[in-house]
Amino acid sequence: MLEIKNLHATIDGKAILNGLTLSVGPGEVHAIMGPNGAGKSTLSYVLGGRPGYEVTEGSVTFNGQDLLSLEAHERAAAGLFMGFQYPVEIPGVSFVQFLREALNSQRKLRGEEALSGGEFLKLAREKAALLKLDPEMLKRPVNLGFSGGEKKRAEMVQMGILDPSFAVLDETDSGLDIDALRIVGHGINAIMRQPGKSVLLITHYQRLLEYVKPDRVHVLAAGRIVKSGGPDLALQLENEGYEAVTA
């Protein structure tokens, strides 16, 4: 589904990714772990098409398409979803209206009919209930006044509404308490643990992986994958640290 080959990328002329190669098949969950500054968030930004990140070498193929040739909104319409470490607040923009416009814009690009207001509200309530988020919160401006956990749950509601085939989740566990972590983990499973859907989960800690069981775990250091293994690798990293495992 996602094939990354020898990916090199820079920001402001500084090399961050240095020959990263990774393959994620349909129906798989892969976790990426690594020390600060390893390039984890840069990888998510490059995949999402964030401006300022320049790919200098390598390729990324998504469902047979050249992902790097697509604009950010085209990547989203093709089925790619980005979950951010720090979801932004957008004063003056209703969350429910934002979500409806995002969904119908993607449907239009795919040649599908827009959802009516009633159809969309039914869908939004269903996904909010899945993440145990009060649907009244969706009437607020985007993320305004939300706690860290509420922002992450709201972002998972957005993922459920957009229904992507591939999700890149950058430290979704950041800022979550024990209960919110469990809810978000179960939400990811309910939305993405389906045939033909895949997840690239970027995290510092093993705790989210207790709920979202990965098929593969990769260690990213100095801009490339330096070690890969099964779920036990995450436990080993937790117990021994990155330096001991990658030495």
Statement: residue 14 has pLDDT above 90: yes
Q: Which two tokens stand for residue 86?
A: 């720090």
Statement: residue 247 has pLDDT above 80: no
* Nearest residue to 18 (alpha-carbon basis) of 39, 1, 3: 39
For residue 178, which amino acid is it? I
Domain edges within the chain: 2-246
In this prediction, residue 215 carries a pLDDT of: 94
Average model confidence (pLDDT) for the chain? 91
Model confidence at 180, pLDDT cuts 50, 70, 90, reads confident
Q: What is the pLDDT of residues 209-224, one digit of tens each?
A: 989 999 999 999 989 9
* Number of helical (H) and strand (E) elements in the chain, helices listed first: 8, 12
In this prediction, residue 176 carries a pLDDT of: 83
Sign of the CA dihedral with 15 first, then 231, 166, and 118 last: negative
Residue 186 near residue 213, CB atoms below 8 Å: no
Give me the CATH code for the 2-246 domain, please.
3.40.50.300
Please give the average per-residue pLDDT across 15-29, as a whole number.
95
Q: CA dihedral defined by 25, 31, 34, 36, rounded to 10 degrees?
A: 110
